[in-house]
Amino acid sequence: MTHDAEERRNMPLIVSVAVSFALFPAAAALDGWAAFTACLLGALSGAVAVMLSCRCRKRLRSMNNDLCVKNEELKQQSQELEEKLTTIQVESQRTWQEQQEASQKRQHRMDSINEMLKDMLNHTDLEMESVGKLQQSLLPRKSPPFEGYHFSMLYQPSGWASGDYYDFIPVNPSTLGVVVADVSGHGGRASVVMAIIRALMQTFAKCSISPAGIMKRINLMMHKLVPTDDFVTVFYAVLDRGNNMLKYSSAGQPYALHVHAQDGEITELKDALGIPVKVMDLSDYEYEECAVELAPGDRVILFTDGVIEAMNPSRELYGIQRLIELCRSTRLWPIEDQIKWIQHNVVEFAQFKNLNDDFTIVAIERSDPDFKYDLDSVKEIYANNTEIDMELDYMDIADIPSI
């Protein structure tokens, strides 16, 4: 108990003593009844003071006890809060550690999966590279010897494996089959379908000189051999050097371009249209067949849709008109340089990275001993565009043995 509390507790007793001392002199000065009254008042005031003192002490003790109880409760609550806080801190620390460990495990698992995927992708890439080399070995490395005609071809896949196909197939000593085809899609599956098309063309082309008849037979066989929904666009022509006629049939391929040497006119071979191979299983479907005569110096440019559907960053297509104008402006160039320049122009237009499709070009030229090539223009182009040969290295297949 503090000093102030002690004084407050003794205050009634002090007051009663003070009153008694104050009344005794007054009682001494009186006599009789007055003295008795004064003494009685003094006694009463002392008793009252004692009672007040007792009550105050009792009240103070009660308050002190209440305060002690409250203090103990607060201590207990404080201790409980401290224990809870400690428990929360421990649990939080444990949870954080568990989360860190779980995060590290997840990261380790993801790193392992990423490494596994990288290995799988590298393995797949090597496999596709092998498939691409094998596929390119199925394509002619050199122009076929065919008296009175020159040929040139360009093949650029968008990846390792491609769905494009071209070929020169001797039918008999005086006729040569020329085919350009494009399998839907890209990659390994397209290359397998391309190999099937090649086998069928090599088989049927030697049995007939009718492009339309061969198209029909290939369409029927593809429905039997290929269970997937892949389809193929094909342009097949039979060149007869005896009469210089080019008979042809088309199954959904872009129109071939006939470049006339005499006046530079370019004609699209829009006749002999037909549905792509394996689009419809129609046993009675007949493909159309047409023929065109090639004059000395005339050229026929065959190509897949990857050429005219090349897209620049503005999503603008290269288009058939650009190709026609380019063929017209380079018609006096040697045929090899002409298709090199076409390839360079398409790549430059699409800024290379936007070439999302394979493209193939095959050019046929009837020889003309009197034809004068514009070699000066060619030399100037090569002098100003030294990167052309670098681009062609991308699709060079000369070092791959043929099958």
The pLDDT tens digits of the residues spanning 245-261 come to: 999 999 999 999 999 99
Q: Give the sheet arrangement for strand 164-172, strand by strand.
A: 164-172, 175-183, 232-240, 245-251, 290-293
**What are the CA-CA distances from residue 31 to residues 21, 27, 28, 40, 44 (Å)?**
17, 7, 7, 14, 19
**What are the CA-CA distances from residue 25 to residues 13, 150, 156, 339 (Å)?**
19, 157, 137, 145
**What are the residue boundaries of the structural domains of the chain, listed by start?**
3-85, 138-395
Residues of the chain with pLDDT below 70 are 1-36, 38-39, 42-43, 45-46, 49-50, 124-132, 135, 352-355, 386-403
Express each pLDDT in 343-373 by its tens digit. 989 988 988 655 677 889 999 999 988 887 7
What CATH code is assigned to 138-395? 3.60.40.10
- The predicted pLDDT at position 388 comes to 59
Does residue 40 contact residue 27 with C-beta atoms inside 8 Å?
A: no
- In terms of pTM, does the model score above 0.85? no
- The predicted pLDDT at position 398 comes to 36
